[in-house]
Structure 1
Amino acid sequence: MESLVIPVLILLLAGAAVLLMARALGRRTAGARASTAKADSARTSTATAGGTALPGDPAERARAAAAKLTEDQHRRLYALIAQGQAMAAIKLYYEASGDGLRASRDAVGALAAHPQPFHSAAPEAAEPDDDDTPQRFPYRYRAIASKGDVTREVSSNMLNDEIYGRIRTLARSGDTEAAATALTRHSDISMKQAREFIALLDD
């Protein structure tokens, strides 16, 4: 009986040692996971401030920040930066952009490190003027002008009532050269023929 007690005690001690080692290993693994999660959380909070993701490149961050400012805000912000009033600059950017405080602080730091010129919004493309880009219509329009016994006619598929009305208005207002130029753009006649035609409309 005594011969069995010693092996049993050895087995119990070995089992206890294995359990202790397993627990220690489990704690170490849990600590490592917690440390990794904390580091990831810190990186995430650094990358996002005020709920807005910030560009990683400082120069790109400065460009993105400058795009949120009006011309007056841009001028005032750089005046504050030049005067060393960092807190006032952050407050101005915070109010102008709607970003969080941390994002505003980072944005002002990027703007200070990478000065950005002000870029206004691109102006909308102007609609082409009828006089500059004549449209060809599927019909030929006949314009007739007469004075006394003299009559002139212009037939063109680049004229219509609206365009011819503008030409007549120019002629009757005394701007005969502009009227003649417009007529040549909307027809195939020469400038001399256009002036002769317009001369019949200028009264």
Structure 2
Amino acid sequence: MESLVIPALILVLVAAGVAVASRAISRRLAATTRHASAPADVDPVEVARTASARLTEDQHRRLYALIAQGQAMAAIKLYYESTGEGLRASRDAVTALAAHPQPYRSPTAEPVAAEPDDDDTPQRFPYRYRAIASKGDVTREVSSNMLNDEIYGRIRTLARSGDTEAAATALTRHSDISLKQAREFIALLDD
């Protein structure tokens, strides 16, 4: 009987240690969940508009170039250095800007109501925009003067949301590639 007392005490101590550790972990997870859910009350489109307004035209262009290239960390760093906001706020801003692309608006411009997307008549820009997508050993490039960061961001958003046909159609409207080539390009954007 005495030989069972020591193993029983060890078993009780281990059970108490597991219970204390489990309680501490559940409290930490609850605090993290509460903290992570706090930004859910904020409209991500409004976060994107506000974040875009804090950038100069050059910073805006560079940030969207990084987002289009899939360099999220570099985009967050650029936003962080450009605005002086905290890392978490910079991450949230870049995430919102990637999900809801915003055109650059100069600080003196009057606020304009949401403009309808006029994708039927592509605008020609004075520069050629290069969009590159790759997966494994396969790389595709689209170069067009009818593309810019904003339009390419919308195309990537469509592709990532699963609407690949609309993304491919939009890409053909804003470039000189065939629908088949656009579909191959969009297939490489699936992350």
| Category of TM-score, reference length = shorter chain | 0.3 to 0.5
Q: Greater relative contact order (Cα 8 A, min sep 6): structure 1 or 2?
A: 2
Structure of higher CA gyration radius: 1
